[in-house]
Structure 1
C-alpha cells in the first residue's frame, strides 16, 4: 500500500489506541512485522502540548519511517496548527481521529462525534491537508449509529479534500467495541473511492486478516486489540498472506524475551515508577490466553519495583517452559 511517498509493506498497520500505542509498543510492533504504527492520539489543544505526557507522545527519536501521528480535536484551525506542530516535531504522516467512541472525546465534539456534522468534517480535512506538506490520513467509523451510517459520504468528502488514505472501523460510534464488526460498509467505501482504504475491526488471526482483505477489497488491515499481548500477530499475518501457511505459536522462551525487552523499554521511557504501573496492563494481555493468567496477574500486580516485576515475569515464563503451574 502506498501512502504518499511511503510504501507500507507489509500492508499491516497498528491502530492508534489511547494509552497503548506509545513509543515502546510502536517500536515493538514494527520490529515484529507491522508496516506502519500510528501513535496514540494527541490533542489539538495547544495548551496541552508542553505537558510531560504530550512531550513523551511527541518523542519519535529512532522511530522507523514513516512516523504517523494522530491528532484529535474539533476546530479546523486548531487541528491545522496541531498538524504543523507535529510535522515540525518529526511526524511524516498526520492522521485525523474521527473514530474514537469514548464519551469524554465525543462529549467535546471530537473523535467519532464529528461524523454527525459532514460540513465540519469537510472543513477539518481541508484545513489539515492544506496546512502541511506531508500525507494526511483519516480514521473513521461506519457512522454515528446504525440508523446513520454515512461512511460513504465521509469517504467522498475525504478524497475530495486530498486525504491520502482512509481507515474504516467496521462499527458505528454507538456500537463502541461490542458485537461483531461488519465489513460490507468498508467494501462499499473501497468501491467508491480511489484512495487506499484500511479495514479495521476484529482482526485477531491471520485467517481473519485474509478474509477481511478478500471481502472488503481493502488495501491493508489495521489491527488494534488483536495486537494487545500478541505483538507478533503482524509477522504471523504477513507470513500467512505470503505463503498460506500458519506460523507456529512462539515458544514461552521467545515470548519471555519479547516481553522482558518491552518491560525494560517501558522503564527507560517512563521512568521506573510509571513504567511498572503501565507495564501491568501489558503483562495481563500477554498472559490472557493462558489458564495461569489469573495467578500471574495477582502475582505480578503486587510488584512495586522494576526488579521485582522482571523477576516475577522471568519466574512465570520459566515455570511455563518447564510445564509447572503457578500458584496464586
Structure 2
C-alpha cells in the first residue's frame, strides 16, 4: 500500500484500511441510474461553466459537467437568453443541469418541461449566495426554510424520471448551520446525491471551507455526498477525500483558467504522481482554443468580451503578464487576442 505525499506531510494508510482514494475503473460512482467515469465533478459556476469551457474540462477528464444555473421562472416566461444556457453538446454527457427558484410548482413543472433535453441529472441550487438571488428567497436562502426545501424536492423528484440532486452550503450563517438537516430532508425526498460547499452564505467565498461539515453530512445520509470547497491542487483533493470520506469531489474556482486540474488530480489520486504544470505555450494554445470555441457558439463580439476574465485567470502567476491582462480589457476581436498572446 503506497504512501501519498500531501501538502505538508506524507499520509501513510493503516494496513487495515483501504487507500484513501483512487480512481477505480471497475467501481464507478452512480448518481441514480447515471454512471460516472470518475468522481471529479465540474461545479456549476455562473459566467464560467458555459458550453465551451465545459468541453475543455471534459477533455481533461471531468467525470460530470455541471452547467450554469438556470432560472425556472426564466424558462416559464420563455426568456430568450435562457436558450443558450440550455445548450448541450453531444460530446458533453453526462451533464448536470441546474435550476434555481423558490416556487415548488414552477420548479417541478419546468423540470418536467425540459426533461427531454440531453442532460443526465437535474440539480436544484440551494447554495448561491448572490444578493439578487437570495433576496428573492432563492439559492442559499432556501436553507432557512426546511419545509419549503422538502416541498420543492418532493415535487421535483416526482415530476421527472431523471435523477435529482441538490447543492447546498454549510448553512445560511454561523448561527444557522443546518447542512445535515437539509441533507436528511433531501434523502427522504428521493434525491439521488447532495453536494455540500463547506462555507455559509454569509462567507460567500471568503475564509476557509469547513470540510468537517461535509464529513458530518456523509455520516448522516446514505446517498452519495459530493465535497466542494478549496480543492485547488491534487494534494487538496486527496486531503478532502481523506478527511471527509465523501463520494465525489467538486471542483469550482480552482479550475478557472486551469482545466488541466482535472487531469492533474486524476493522475495524482490514481498513481501518486504529479503532472507538470502547463507550459506558457500550452496555456496560450488553450486560451486560443477556448476563445475559438466561444466565438463559434456565442459570436465573436460576445465571446471576446467574456474571454477577458478568462485571460486573466489563465495568465495569473505567469511572469510579466500583468500588462497583458490589463490590455486584454480592450480587446474586441479574436485577432486582438492573438496579437496580445504573441507577447506572452
The TM-score bracket by the shorter chain reads over 0.9
State the number of aligned residues: 316
Q: 1:206 aligns with which of 234, 239, 263?
A: 234
CA distance in 2, matches of 1:311, 1:264: 14
Alignment pair present for 1:100 and 2:128: yes
* TM-score normalised to structure 1 length: 0.93
Superposition deviation, residue 307 in structure 1: 1.5
CA distance in 2, matches of 1:312, 1:253: 13
Superposition deviation, residue 47 in structure 1: 5.7
* TM-score normalised to structure 2 length: 0.89
Alignment pair present for 1:147 and 2:147: no
CA distance in 2, matches of 1:174, 1:245: 37
1:133 aligns to what? Answer: 161
Change (3 A) 1:305 1:30: same
2:324 aligns to what? Answer: 296
2:19 aligns to what? Answer: none
Alignment pair present for 1:20 and 2:48: yes
Matches of residues 48-87 of structure 1 in structure 2 within 5 Å?
Answer: 50-87=78-115
Superposition deviation, residue 316 in structure 1: 3.2
Alignment pair present for 1:9 and 2:37: yes
CA distance in 2, matches of 1:75, 1:51: 17
2:310 aligns to what? Answer: 282
Superposition deviation, residue 257 in structure 1: 1.7
Matches of residues 226-237 of structure 1 in structure 2 within 5 Å?
Answer: 226-237=254-265
Superposed CA offset, 1:20-68 (max 9, x none): 1111111111111111110010001046664342100111132422121
Superposition deviation, residue 288 in structure 1: 1.2
Q: CA RMSD in A?
A: 1.3
CA distance in 2, matches of 1:172, 1:294: 33
Change (3 A) 1:63 1:86: farther
CA distance in 2, matches of 1:47, 1:207: 40
Superposition deviation, residue 85 in structure 1: 2.4
CA distance in 2, matches of 1:198, 1:64: 20
CA distance in 2, matches of 1:294, 1:61: 34
CA distance in 1, matches of 2:37, 2:316: 29
1:32 aligns to what? Answer: 60
Asked if 2 retains the 8 angstrom alpha-carbon contact of 1:49 and 1:55, the reply is no
Say which structure is richer in helix. Answer: 1
CA distance in 2, matches of 1:249, 1:289: 12
Of 238-247 and 40-49, deviating more is 40-49
Superposition deviation, residue 4 in structure 1: 1.7
Asked if 2 retains the 8 angstrom alpha-carbon contact of 1:58 and 1:86, the reply is no
1:258 aligns to what? Answer: 286
Matches of residues 161-240 of structure 1 in structure 2 within 5 Å?
Answer: 161-240=189-268
CA distance in 2, matches of 1:287, 1:48: 40
Asked if 2 retains the 8 angstrom alpha-carbon contact of 1:46 and 1:82, the reply is no
Asked if 2 retains the 8 angstrom alpha-carbon contact of 1:168 and 1:199, the reply is yes
1:305 aligns to what? Answer: 333
The runs of 5 or more residues in structure 1 that have no matched partner are 318-328
CA distance in 2, matches of 1:156, 1:47: 29
What is the SS of the residue equivalent to 1:94?
A: strand
1:324 aligns to what? Answer: none
CA distance in 1, matches of 2:37, 2:175: 36
What is the SS of the residue equivalent to 1:171?
A: strand
Asked if 1 retains the 8 angstrom alpha-carbon contact of 2:74 and 2:82, the reply is no
Of 44-53 and 84-93, deviating more is 44-53
Alignment pair present for 1:272 and 2:300: yes
Asked if 2 retains the 8 angstrom alpha-carbon contact of 1:142 and 1:171, the reply is yes
Asked if 2 retains the 8 angstrom alpha-carbon contact of 1:15 and 1:222, the reply is yes
